[in-house]
Structure 1
């Protein structure tokens, strides 16, 4: 079979020759009890760079030994891209959310042999799921592999925004010692109202990590947490997004991109937030209207915006979030730490092993299969709601 893999480019100064850490902590289960990926083999060292072109997700030896053709590229944009040229006869496509190979309906129509689209990570909205269903293409992702990675990144960004870390670090880097300038927009998060939009694996992990900061926790989700979890967090449930956003000082977004959430945070919803509120978005860039966010920051209605998701990805040079005041943006890196890469590389191999052997793919990894939403996809993407980012 032909396996086409889209990965981000290698570091500008070449692949690392050494790493600060020689190993990763051993883990066998995620917080909810789900086991980590269990491939039959592994041809990489955990903790090394796997998500770039030369890393190849550690799959090259496995695939070529089995006689499969393996194409790895970062050239993914435009009809003459290497991605488009090889997509025509590819049987399997592997892509990461951080540097997605967008599988639009038009591209899927040209991919006559495509049987399986794998997300090396979490979040498959770079695939037109409705079109995949129509064509009977299986879409799978490595559920939970980088959920905690993203949750840690979100907590980091909350603290960076509220304490105005970016200003203070830049003053230190530039040789300054301007204490008043450092602290004039810096606050404690203690005692603030902190909310998450969607309390799935990532959102719940954020709530659990924020509880020791002595904040007041809030959340909205289509699926309410069980009473015991809600009580242990002392978290307030809101029955609408509007109620949530109007109640919190800091909001962290963790919902999937669907027709319902596409452009959700526009000037109308932003106007309902508290003056001086902060937004962290590690979900999907299109959930927030980029121009309305910029206007809310520049007017002073929002005190800051942070996230690592953009649209499209990579973001254009003149994207307003690159230069607007009080931003703490990063490229889409929250879920591709070296720790996470080992898990999602293992997960991709596990999926491929099962697919080639004709064995079932784990139900929790499945988004669509046999023309319908299944597994995680059934929970996260309501039918007819999925949006191709």
Structure 2
């Protein structure tokens, strides 16, 4: 492992917290800086924290050439494309404060050889799984239109009830069988619904939870009332849910995506919602992030989106901050990280991104 002396320049790109930053537990913001400033400065490191990340004249671009370590988040990402990685001549370590490192060109980072990419694996598993369960229920119970009726002064129970169903007896499938998917399926067990998962191979934790493994994605989709995407964004999963794949789903089924937006095709989702092929779509991941005001999902029917918040509960922020500090301490001491933290190590991509 390539280690770095504590007298490093650490560049963190974090969103402005504003009023939320007054709460000391809100750590993943520019103001509170992952609770790292005092510790890093005592180590002799220079710690630059900014929310300004867009364009060649941004603070991120200005500090990048002499940064040894870059920290960024999935929900306010500093995009490290080949041109940024080329510009970052001193860069040795990139840490994702959270899970999901697709804002980094991982192949380009691997080609550089001397750049390690890591993330705080497991930090928001509970948070995201709970959020997914909430979205499943919101969709099948037709909750959001009911909320909108109540806010708008309407009262049309038949209009709402004709699309509301019990979760009991329905079929829920997950694309991907990792930690978040396993915890979601564990939570769903008490609802007495049929549970499937599709993955590259069978996974023992899923088997232990009594979830049925399906080898063929399209045949699983045809049976599911709700599909939840829980797979990393890779070259193989990019655009996985295109117009053709969406047509394989049961008509009127719901789709939940807290994984990454490019796993689906934006316009194909809109078309499927407009035609009724999709009964509803819900998630908190967009491309790009932050999402532009004219993003098609903001106006699509039965499309219930939020900003990228599923993994940013206060408990998750604490786990994220602790994980980042753990990695920095190990880096400064020349010690290896936990194996599952690595995304790019010595020029090699982690298995899930291959």
Of 93, 99, 111, 2:88 maps to: 111
Any idea what SS the aligned residue of 1:101 has?
Answer: coil
CA offsets per residue over residues 197-218 of structure 1, 9 Å max, x none? Answer: 0010011111111111110001
Q: How many residues align?
A: 346
Of 247, 251, 255, 1:271 maps to: 247
Partner in structure 1 of residue 20 of structure 2: 15
Of 191, 196, 211, 2:169 maps to: 191
CA distance in structure 2 between the partners assigned to 1:17 and 1:238 by the alignment: 47
CA offsets per residue over residues 125-146 of structure 1, 9 Å max, x none? Answer: 1111111111120001111010
TM-score by length of structure 2 reads 0.95
CA distance in structure 1 between the partners assigned to 2:51 and 2:159 by the alignment: 42
Of 44, 61, 70, 1:93 maps to: 70
Give the 5 Å matches for 1:243-254. Answer: 243-254=219-230
Cα RMSD, aligned residues only: 1.4
Of 114, 132, 137, 1:154 maps to: 132
Partner in structure 2 of residue 381 of structure 1: 353
Alignment check: 8 A CA contact 1:275 1:300 kept: yes
1:80 aligned onto 2:57: yes
Alignment check: 8 A CA contact 2:21 2:27 kept: no
Any idea what SS the aligned residue of 2:86 has?
Answer: helix
CA distance in structure 2 between the partners assigned to 1:264 and 1:162 by the alignment: 23
CA offsets per residue over residues 68-112 of structure 1, 9 Å max, x none? Answer: 111111111111111111111100000111111111111000000
Give the 5 Å matches for 1:227-376. Answer: 229-230=206-207, 232-373=208-349
CA distance in structure 1 between the partners assigned to 2:184 and 2:155 by the alignment: 33
Any idea what SS the aligned residue of 1:354 has?
Answer: helix
The answer for unaligned runs of 5 or more in structure 1 is 19-44, 383-389
Partner in structure 2 of residue 35 of structure 1: none
Q: Give the superposition deviation at 1:16.
A: 5.3
Alignment check: 8 A CA contact 2:182 2:206 kept: no
Q: Give the superposition deviation at 1:175.
A: 3.5
Alignment check: 8 A CA contact 1:50 1:341 kept: yes
Q: Give the superposition deviation at 1:305.
A: 0.1
Of 33, 49, 54, 1:56 maps to: 33
Q: Give the superposition deviation at 1:229.
A: 4.5
Partner in structure 1 of residue 159 of structure 2: 181
CA offsets per residue over residues 294-340 of structure 1, 9 Å max, x none? Answer: 00000011100001111111111111111111112111111111110
Alignment check: 8 A CA contact 2:80 2:104 kept: yes
CA offsets per residue over residues 30-83 of structure 1, 9 Å max, x none? Answer: xxxxxxxxxxxxxxx6xx101111120001101111121111111111111111
Alignment check: 8 A CA contact 1:282 1:307 kept: yes
Q: Give the superposition deviation at 1:17.
A: 4.4
Q: Give the superposition deviation at 1:174.
A: 2.9
Alignment check: 8 A CA contact 2:137 2:167 kept: yes
The answer for unaligned runs of 5 or more in structure 2 is 1-7
CA distance in structure 2 between the partners assigned to 1:268 and 1:364 by the alignment: 34
CA distance in structure 1 between the partners assigned to 2:219 and 2:162 by the alignment: 30
